[in-house]
Amino acid sequence: MDKDKNGVVIKVIKGVGFAVALFIIIPAITAIIVSVSLFPCLETSNDWIGFLGSYFGSILGGIITLLVMQKTLVSSKELQRRDERRQLCNHIASLSSDFCIELMAYRSKWKMLYNQAQGQSIDAEKKIELGATTEKPRRIMFEMEILLCDVEAANDCLEYMKYLLSDAELTKKSLQETEELLNEFRQKIRTLISSYLKERH
């Protein structure tokens, strides 16, 4: 952050220095052209001096206007990019929260069916119904894969989501173990969002 501020300060100082230099150089050049007879046909009347002053002043004004417009456009694009990143991160945080809630619901339902079966194999129809409860977290993961396909730092989070969706793993965990796994996932998402917001393009 300090480096960014220093870079902006240096650019501002350079811009101000350039403008001051132009304000000093242009009148000096005008004075030289008028006072030294570089061109024999050049008149040194007040009208001609006024014309040269207006002419160089217009050029200077145009250059400054173009520089200001360029800076404004660059600033505007940077703000737009930051806003888009914030919106994406908010959406990722929301999807991650829904993912955790749905996984907990799936685990609770599986445990309930397992207890009802009292150690016997769970009915095939109930297994299909149980599998349907993982549809939403799978859709969330698919959406996150699309949203984060260009973000290399997201690979770890996406791989962890696939691991959490593995029926053989999550359903065997205790409630405390499941909470720990989900907390680790949340931490990975926080790290991803933090690094993504700090990235510069």
* Model pLDDT for residues 101-115, shown as the tens digit of each residue: 988 888 877 777 666
- Distance between CA atoms of 43 and 161, rounded to whole angstroms? 81
Position 18 pLDDT exceeds 50: yes
61 CA to centre of own chain = 35
The sign one gets for the Cα dihedral 6, 7, 12, 15 is positive
Q: Quickly state the pLDDT bin for 190 (edges 50, 70, 90).
A: very high
pTM as predicted? 0.59
Q: Quickly state the pLDDT bin for 116 (edges 50, 70, 90).
A: low
